[in-house]
Chain A
Amino acid sequence: MSGTILDVQGLTMRFGGVVAVNGLSFTAERHKITALIGPNGAGKTTVFNCITGFYKPTSGTMRLTHDDGRIIQLERLNDFRISKQAKVARTFQNIRLFPGMTALENLMVAQHNTLMLASGFTFLGLIGAPSYRAAEKHAIDQAKQWLERISLLDRADDAAGNLAYGDQRRLEIARAMCTEPSLLCLDEPAAGLNARESASLSELLISIRNQGTSILLIEHDMSVVMEISDHIVVMDYGVKIAEGAPQDVRDNPKVIAAYLGADEEEAAAVMESGT
């Protein structure tokens, strides 16, 4: 089933007098990778925090449509319910793993809600009920599968804080995926990665998309964005300045102007002289 998974309309977020996001509207297609780009301070992460329930938007609607046709108004949910009920998972710009827990434990924590139910809210688990043991084994298998996909299987029992930076980035994505989300929000997943790691990240994201999870992505690494995105939304000063396919966005003078800090006419002039 195709169509729109996330429909954001008139999203506004004010912090006191500062308007971080001003009437932003965009849609994200199902089973596609939608990228949200823009210069620093454009309000991208604020949009993410609104979608994932960390901020309550001042106004606007965010409608999430599930595969089975269920519609959820994200602005009415908050906190952990976004992940639990709406099935929206996210990663963070500065990695937020559980550093003192092993890679495997990190992935097990992500399956908390499923396991909690299976353990009969701890009581069945405490007496070692077979149904819980089976559920735990299944959870470990799923974690193992993800560790294999991000090629960290042999580091499963190492503390997450001891992993290399690129490994931590991939582990965080795997952890988010272990919650079995329908929409995965990634906040700068390629930040600090080298060219080879970026390439393998692109592959991972494409495989996640092909598997049926829609992705919303904030990214500064244009090679990654242009390579994997199906649709790009460009923001500046809290408003949308352009959107479209990667090729269209790349040639849009408004976008170039925003990134170069020049005004539109100048940018157009630069482009013309260049070609």
Chain B
Amino acid sequence: MTGASTDLTRAARREGIAFIFKKALISAFVALMLFSLMIGVRTEAGPTGQLIYWTRFGDLASIVGIVFVGSIVIELLRQWWGPAGIASVVPPSAQRALDFAGRAIPPLLLIFTFLVPVIFYNQRYILDLGILVLTYVMLGWGLNVVVGLAGLLDLGYVAFYAVGAYSYALLSTNFGLSFWICLPLAGILAAFWGVLLGFPVLRLRGDYLAIVTLAFGEIIRLVIINWQSLTGGPNGVSGIPRPSFFGIPLTPGDDGLAAKLGIEFSPTHRIVFLFYVILALALLTNWVTIRLRRLPIGRAWEALREDEVACRALGINTTTTKLTAFATGAMFGGFAGAFFATRQGFISPESFTFQESALVLAIVVLGGMGSQLGVALAALTLIGGFELFRGFDQYRMLVFGMAMVFLMIWRPRGLIGRRAPTVFLKQSTAISSELAREGRG
């Protein structure tokens, strides 16, 4: 019995070695093909304009060798760890630790965020970065309603961000309305545009929906560029009023907040104030989303993501359900946009390119669709990490891309790949995202 089993493992191992070698050879061959021209032959324009080239077969050989050995090492590691999969890659003890961390992280992170302006009071760079990260956290949470909960792939989220920003910019510069009046207006206008976009695209699903929302994002941007009389076109809108502390401006004058409090004026006050404004807005987004998830509308969003046909059979109006998801997400985008405008003091169409939509979508996907903590961590990683890698100079994008690829191998369903039930009888057991669907709507 024992002999038979050792024979078996020996046979499996022999087969394994053959497999590893085959795989390594294939990898080396692919590397040879790829790099033979890129590294093997070097071309340059000579002094008189002719083409000179020389070969670097030594470098090529060493790279192919590295790929060959590296492939063997990776394959050995993989066999040692067992088959790739969430359950086996993460051992149970580590999983328990992760669970504990999962419960401890949100409150700790929140406390730390509240203390950031206190700790880094003198470091303007950190404060600015914090505001930027929080803006993206808020955008991520807003888009999470549409993509993560309702499963509607929206590639034009930046349009609502732009609507919010321009709403505030134009209302305040033309009519002198204050930030706190414009904020809800910007949200309502963005939600309105969300519904407007929602109507024509309701029949579309999956890829088609993504294309139309992408186009919508571009349309908004092009309208802003070309409607010169209203939006100032490519020159943007400048001189957007800074927010006041409920009517008291944050200026060095006698009626400024500093003078009224009897403290010395510092420009940092405004930064700190902005930090807490965006923190409050982000937390509002979070609170509303968490609340909505537990209400029938939120459950209907998730049901829609899981199975639209079943929703219709249960008498759920899928049209209004989708529209509310679009409107809610757009409203938060609008809030974030108004904040962006007041922080920058100047906005132009260049801030609202497709790149922004893609970045926010990446935050949602990377965070784990539907997970609030995951989105916050992903925003921190993506925006903060991007700054962190500044030291790598020209290799920044490369390092960044590598990090994302590794993250997706390690956690294909995002950082937090689990969903907590909205209602439970005895105990709330998190559901692996392997079961949840990504939505085709």
Across the interface, which residues of A come within 8 angstroms of B292, CB to CB? 122, 126
Q: Assuming A98-B302, A101-B421, A140-B423, is B433 touching A80 (CB within 8 A)? A: no
Across the interface, which residues of A come within 8 angstroms of B435, CB to CB? 99-100, 159, 161-162
Is there a chain B Cβ closer than 8 Å to A158's Cβ? yes
Alpha-carbon gap, A81 to B422, bound state (A): 26
A112 touches B313 (CB 8 A): no
Is there a chain A Cβ closer than 8 Å to B92's Cβ? no
- 1/0 per residue, CB under 8 A from B, across A70-93: the answer is 000000000111111000011010
B291 touches A110 (CB 8 A): no
- 1/0 per residue, CB under 8 A from B, across A27-62: the answer is 000000000000000000000000011100000000
Chain A contributes a number of interface residues (CB within 8 A of B) equal to 45
Alpha-carbon gap, A153 to B425, bound state (A): 9
Of all chain A residues, the one with the shortest Cβ separation from B297 is: A122
Q: Assuming A99-B437, A101-B302, is B314 touching A157 (CB within 8 A)? A: no
B309 touches A98 (CB 8 A): no
Alpha-carbon gap, A110 to B310, bound state (A): 10
Alpha-carbon gap, A156 to B311, bound state (A): 20
Is there a chain B Cβ closer than 8 Å to A219's Cβ? no
- 1/0 per residue, CB under 8 A from A, across B408-441: the answer is 0000000000010111111111011101110000
Is there a chain A Cβ closer than 8 Å to B169's Cβ? no
B429 partner, pick from A79, A101, A157, beta carbons under 8 A: A157
Chain A nearest CB from B328 CB (Å) reads 9
Is there a chain A Cβ closer than 8 Å to B307's Cβ? yes
Across the interface, which residues of A come within 8 angstroms of B423, CB to CB? 102, 104-105, 108, 140
Across the interface, which residues of B come within 8 angstroms of A176, CB to CB? 313-314
The interface size bin for chain B is 35 or more
B314 touches A112 (CB 8 A): yes
Chain A nearest CB from B332 CB (Å) reads 14
Contact stretch, chosen from A113-121, A208-216, A241-249: A113-121
B300 touches A100 (CB 8 A): no
A125 touches B306 (CB 8 A): no
Contact stretch, chosen from B44-52, B80-88, B315-323: B315-323
B295 touches A126 (CB 8 A): yes
Is there a chain B Cβ closer than 8 Å to A175's Cβ? yes
Is there a chain B Cβ closer than 8 Å to A144's Cβ? yes
Is there a chain A Cβ closer than 8 Å to B299's Cβ? yes
B312 touches A99 (CB 8 A): no
B310 touches A96 (CB 8 A): yes
From B288, B314, B431, residue with most partner A Cβ within 10 Å: B314
Chain B nearest CB from A98 CB (Å) reads 4
Is there a chain B Cβ closer than 8 Å to A206's Cβ? no
Alpha-carbon gap, A81 to B426, bound state (A): 34
B300 touches A109 (CB 8 A): yes
Is there a chain B Cβ closer than 8 Å to A235's Cβ? no
A116 partner, pick from B297, B302, B306, beta carbons under 8 A: B297
B-facing residues in A176-221 (Cβ within 8 Å) = 176, 179
B424 partner, pick from A53, A97, A157, A179, beta carbons under 8 A: A157
B428 touches A80 (CB 8 A): no
Of all chain B residues, the one with the shortest Cβ separation from A114 is: B296
Alpha-carbon gap, A96 to B308, bound state (A): 10
From A82, A89, A116, A140, residue with most partner B Cβ within 10 Å: A116
B309 partner, pick from A96, A112, A156, beta carbons under 8 A: A96
Alpha-carbon gap, A271 to B316, bound state (A): 50
Chain B nearest CB from A168 CB (Å) reads 12
Q: Assuming A101-B306, A122-B297, is B421 touching A109 (CB within 8 A)? A: no
Of all chain A residues, the one with the shortest Cβ separation from B430 is: A159
Of all chain A residues, the one with the shortest Cβ separation from B318 is: A80
Is there a chain A Cβ closer than 8 Å to B303's Cβ? yes
B307 touches A157 (CB 8 A): no
B428 touches A112 (CB 8 A): no
Across the interface, which residues of B come within 8 angstroms of A53, CB to CB? 312
Alpha-carbon gap, A111 to B421, bound state (A): 17
Alpha-carbon gap, A109 to B318, bound state (A): 13
A92 touches B316 (CB 8 A): no
- 1/0 per residue, CB under 8 A from A, across B365-406: the answer is 000000000000000000000000000000000000000000
B424 touches A83 (CB 8 A): no
A83 partner, pick from B296, B314, B428, beta carbons under 8 A: B314
Across the interface, which residues of A come within 8 angstroms of B306, CB to CB? 98-101
Alpha-carbon gap, A45 to B307, bound state (A): 19
Across the interface, which residues of B come within 8 angstroms of A79, CB to CB? 312, 318
What are 18 A-B interface contacts by the 8 Å CB criterion? A79-B318, A92-B310, A98-B306, A101-B436, A108-B299, A109-B316, A110-B314, A112-B296, A112-B316, A116-B296, A119-B295, A122-B297, A126-B288, A126-B292, A157-B428, A159-B432, A162-B435, A176-B313
Would you list the 7 A-B pairs with minimal beta carbon distance, nearest first?
Answer: A100-B436, A83-B315, A84-B315, A98-B306, A115-B296, A161-B435, A96-B310
Give me 11 other A-B pairs in contact (C-beta within 8 A), A105-B299, A179-B314 excluded: A54-B312, A83-B312, A101-B436, A102-B423, A108-B422, A109-B303, A112-B299, A119-B296, A119-B297, A125-B291, A159-B432
Interface residues of B (CB under 8 A from A): 288, 291-292, 295-297, 299-300, 302-303, 306-307, 309-318, 324, 419, 421-429, 431-433, 435-437
